[in-house]
């Protein structure tokens, strides 16, 4: 696996293409200035690379600029649970400063481009920018909220229900980030990842997905998912999309 490397030309936060998207809340000039100072560099993680490792004491915080990844935990015998997917705007690595070590790993599914923040400047954030402190709380709470939702899925839903929920969840996140292409979205992962996300075996996951596709609920071909019958998927999983509000990005 290739090593992460520094990006040659970091984007200035003032002209950040991601931040411009309408789901993100607008920043005050003073906040933008702070973030510009907070961000010390950019990092490129190659596809398949480990951005963060469980047990490591990470010195850095990251915001995802581009690409897909996933957070996961692994048992000593190799069983893996994917906790969530990582998309642009997501904030990574806070567990490092807060507990001594990361409690999960993050792996890149595509090449990832990340803003890098040193943990020792975090204190300045709390002291000078209460609104950003609130944003941090927001991000942490959203992480917990999504974990709770996932827990309900894995603990109490059937195979088809879990798949329906997962695909709607991903669809809505992609939509919010303007990553949809005529109702389709690229999924840079394999069936194995879906299985490890919903807590079932690869074979069973495959069969459940085949059946759902036969019922016309969606298609998954050439790394793309297209939702055909959203209403049916929503009813199957009892998932109601949250009204999308402005969210913070750091």
Partner DNA sequence: CGGGATATTGAGTTAGTTCAACACAGGTGG
Partner DNA sequence: CCACCTGTGTTGAACTAACTCAATATCCCG
Told to check if 211 binds DNA by CB under 7 A, we report: no
Told to check if 128 binds DNA by CB under 7 A, we report: no
Told to check if 222 binds DNA by CB under 7 A, we report: yes
DSSP string, 9-66: SPPPGGG-TTTTSTTBPPPPHHHHHHHHHH--EEEEE-TT-EEE-TT----EEEEEEE
Closest CB to a second copy among residues 152, 177: 152
* CA 204 from centroid of its chain's CA atoms: 25
237: CB partners within 8 A, 6+ apart: 153, 157, 161, 162, 164, 165, 168
Told to check if 174 binds a second copy by CB under 8 A, we report: no
Told to check if 59 binds a second copy by CB under 8 A, we report: no
Give yes or no for a contact between 25 and 246, defined as CB atoms under 8 angstroms apart: yes
Q: Alpha helices, DSSP H only, in 46-129?
A: 95-98, 122-128
Binder of a second copy out of 12, 17, 48, 134 (CB under 8 A): 134
For the chain, what is the radius of gyration of the CA atoms?
18
Closest CB to a second copy among residues 71, 113: 71
Instruction: Kindly state the tokens that stand for 243.
Output: 């009204």
Binder of a second copy out of 238, 241, 244, 246 (CB under 8 A): 238
Footprint of a second copy (CB under 8 A): 71, 73, 75-76, 79-81, 83, 94-95, 98-99, 103-104, 123, 126-127, 130-131, 133-134, 136-138, 140-145, 147-152, 154-157, 196, 198-199, 238, 242
Footprint of DNA (CB under 7 A): 158-159, 190-192, 199-210, 222
């Amino acid at each position: 696996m290739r090593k992460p490397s520094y990006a040659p030309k970091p984007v200035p936060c003032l002209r950040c293409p991601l931040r411009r998207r309408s789901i993100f809340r607008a920043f005050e000039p003073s906040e933008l200035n702070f973030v510009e100072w907070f961000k010390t560099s950019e990092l490129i993680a190659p596809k398949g690379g480990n951005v963060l490792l469980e047990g490591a004491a990470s010195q850095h915080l990251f915001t995802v600029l581009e690409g897909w990844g996933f957070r996961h935990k692994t048992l000593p015998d190799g069983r893996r649970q994917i906790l969530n997917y990582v998309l642009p705007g997501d904030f990574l690595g806070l567990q490092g400063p807060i507990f001594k070590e990361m409690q999960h790993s993050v792996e890149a599914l595509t090449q990832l481009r990340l803003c890098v923040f040193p943990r020792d400047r975090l204190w300045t954030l709390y002291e000078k920018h209460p609104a950003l402190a609130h944003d941090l709380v927001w991000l942490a709470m959203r992480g917990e909220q999504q974990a709770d939702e996932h827990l309900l899925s894995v603990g109490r839903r059937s195979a088809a229900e879990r798949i329906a929920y997962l695909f709607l969840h991903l669809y809505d996140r992609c939509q919010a980030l303007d990553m949809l292409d005529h109702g389709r979205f690229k999924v840079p992962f394999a069936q194995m990842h879906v299985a490890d996300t919903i807590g079932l075996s690869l074979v069973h996951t495959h069969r459940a997905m085949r059946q759902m596709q036969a019922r016309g609920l969606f298609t998954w071909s050439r790394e793309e998912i297209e939702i055909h019958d959203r209403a049916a998927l929503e009813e199957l999983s009892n998932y109601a999309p949250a009204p999308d509000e402005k969210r913070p990005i750091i």
